[in-house]
Structure 1
Amino acid sequence: MEDEGDDKPYVCPKCGHACARLLILMMHMKTHPAKTRYSCPDCSYTSTSSSNLVKHKRMHTGVKPYSCSECSYACTSSSVLKKHMRVHSGERPYSCTVCSRTFSQPSHIKQHMKTHTGEDLHSCTVCGYAGTTSSNLKRHMRTHSGEKPFSCTECSYTTTTSSSLKNHARTHSGEKPYHCTECDHTCTQLSNLKVHMKTHTGEKPYSCTECSYAGAQLSNLKAHMKTHTAEMEGSGSE
């Protein structure tokens, strides 16, 4: 008959070694090496996944194997490319629970929520503007200073933001990366695509205060309002 001390209920999942006490098993487990970590030879980055290391190393090599089929954009991972494709499709899967705004990226909605909570807002010292990031405030301050640090290499155009310059550059290149999902219409800017989509939905959010006219674009409403101005000027001259 075996002694009670021979009972060893605690078994090591790594090698099958059995122990009589949990404390002894925990001490035994330390003899096994920790989970393999893969280290980057160029920096201090480490990961337990070899595939993550492969993706990381592209930051050093500059290799961008994932290319957009709609424009010249290229990136290091398929997940980043998936996010980029939303600029072409107009997909905005992230919705604010407080208001009706939608966003294409989770980071964008996270910043937007600060406008509701007031958390970590960056305030302008000149006017009442408050931005969700310091970079937003920096861009805003240029409206006061008049600074336009971004210049077009093709003409004399200058602007306050890199995104505005990128949009402007398409007037020279002819690139129209935003595609309508309902027809073959293409646009140089996402805002233009949004306006175009209203021709399919029938949405006319801009209403005249003088009559029942409603337009899909603000510019259309402004043009329409001139008909009332002309009528008023005409009646005044009689």
Structure 2
Amino acid sequence: MSHIGEKPFKCELCDKRFSRCGDRNSHMRIHTGEKPFKCEFCDTRFSWCGDRNQHMMIHTGEKPFKCEVCDKRFSRRASQKKHMRVHTGEKPFKCEVCDRRFSQCALRNSHMRIHTGEKPFKCEVCDRRFSQCALLNSHMRIHTGEKPFKCEVCDKRFSHFTNRNNHMRIHTGEKPFKCEECDKTFRSSQHRYRHMMIHTGEKPFKCEVCDKRFSQCDNRNRHMRMHTGEKP
């Protein structure tokens, strides 16, 4: 029996020490890869009993960890703690480049790719690459034609959640995006952005023939027909 603070049991591979023999033996599985604990439903194996028990809740539907604010329940304590940041506003994960803060490590890591330019997610159809898995999944609908988001009023379907929401405002009349210069309101942030160019003088759309620039894509395209002779 060890005294308080004493750690007589040493890992023979990394020299980490433990106060109990069982803890040392459990730690050794990091090195050996041993996974003695098996899920009774899907045969997935785990190195630690606690991890196996938490995994089992996926199958049983058990959610013992409850949010004390909104009563939402979770199968994992870590998921409950992560959810609590919705209520507390805590953002412990900071971008080392621009100091923007995030409530989740995964969100911070995803944001970091803006700075690094890393795009690890590749479309298997056209080889286009993306910085986020969600962007890849959204892009894949171009190839599959999937339109999972439906307008509840007219049943029109959309491949993107934001496009469905923007469309819904045709029915509701909602225009939540306001120009800060003239107070004109718009259904989507894209429409507001396009309108703002009237005030800023920005002209991002260039004629490839004569280099004349336009604030609106449609205006540039109409102008291009002067060169091509195309009739609308």
The answer (yes or no) to whether the contact 1:208–1:225 under 8 Å persists in 2 is: yes
**Compared with structure 1, are the counterparts of its residues 229 and 120 closer, same or farther at alpha carbon in structure 2 (3 Å cutoff)?**
closer
The answer (yes or no) to whether the contact 2:169–2:187 under 8 Å persists in 1 is: yes
1:72 match: none
Q: 1:137-216 residue pairs with structure 2 within 5 A?
A: 137-211=136-210, 213-216=212-215
- Equivalent residue letter for 1:122: F
2:71 match: 60
Gaps of 5+ in 2: 6-62, 73-85
How far 1:58 sits from its partner (Å)? 3.3
> What is the TM-score of this pair, normalised by structure 1?
0.52
The answer (yes or no) to whether the contact 2:69–2:87 under 8 Å persists in 1 is: no
1:27 match: none
The answer (yes or no) to whether the contact 2:129–2:136 under 8 Å persists in 1 is: yes
**Compared with structure 1, are the counterparts of its residues 120 and 225 closer, same or farther at alpha carbon in structure 2 (3 Å cutoff)?**
closer
How far 1:195 sits from its partner (Å)? 0.9
Cα deviation, 1:67-121, whole Å, max 9, x if unaligned, reads xxxxxxxxx75959xxxxxxxxxxxxx9x87xxxxx9989878535425636572
Q: Size of the alignment, in residue pairs?
A: 149
CA RMSD of aligned residues (A): 3.6
How far 1:126 sits from its partner (Å)? 1.0
How far 1:164 sits from its partner (Å)? 1.3
- Larger relative contact order (Cα-Cα within 8 Å, sequence gap ≥ 6): 1
Match of 2:147, SS state, is: coil
**Compared with structure 1, are the counterparts of its residues 212 and 146 closer, same or farther at alpha carbon in structure 2 (3 Å cutoff)?**
closer
Q: Distance in 1 between matches of 2:225 and 2:162?
A: 33
Gaps of 5+ in 1: 1-22, 24-41, 46-55, 62-75, 81-93, 98-102, 234-238
Cα deviation, 1:29-65, whole Å, max 9, x if unaligned, reads xxxxxxxxxxxxx9647xxxxxxxxxx633327xxxx
Q: 1:1-238 residue pairs with structure 2 within 5 A?
A: 44=65, 57-60=68-71, 111-114=110-113, 117=116, 119=118, 121-211=120-210, 213-230=212-229
Match of 1:59, SS state, is: coil
How far 1:190 sits from its partner (Å)? 0.5
> What is the TM-score of this pair, normalised by structure 2?
0.53
The answer (yes or no) to whether the contact 2:207–2:220 under 8 Å persists in 1 is: yes
Q: Distance in 1 between matches of 2:157 and 2:149?
A: 6
Match of 2:181, SS state, is: coil
**Compared with structure 1, are the counterparts of its residues 219 and 110 closer, same or farther at alpha carbon in structure 2 (3 Å cutoff)?**
farther
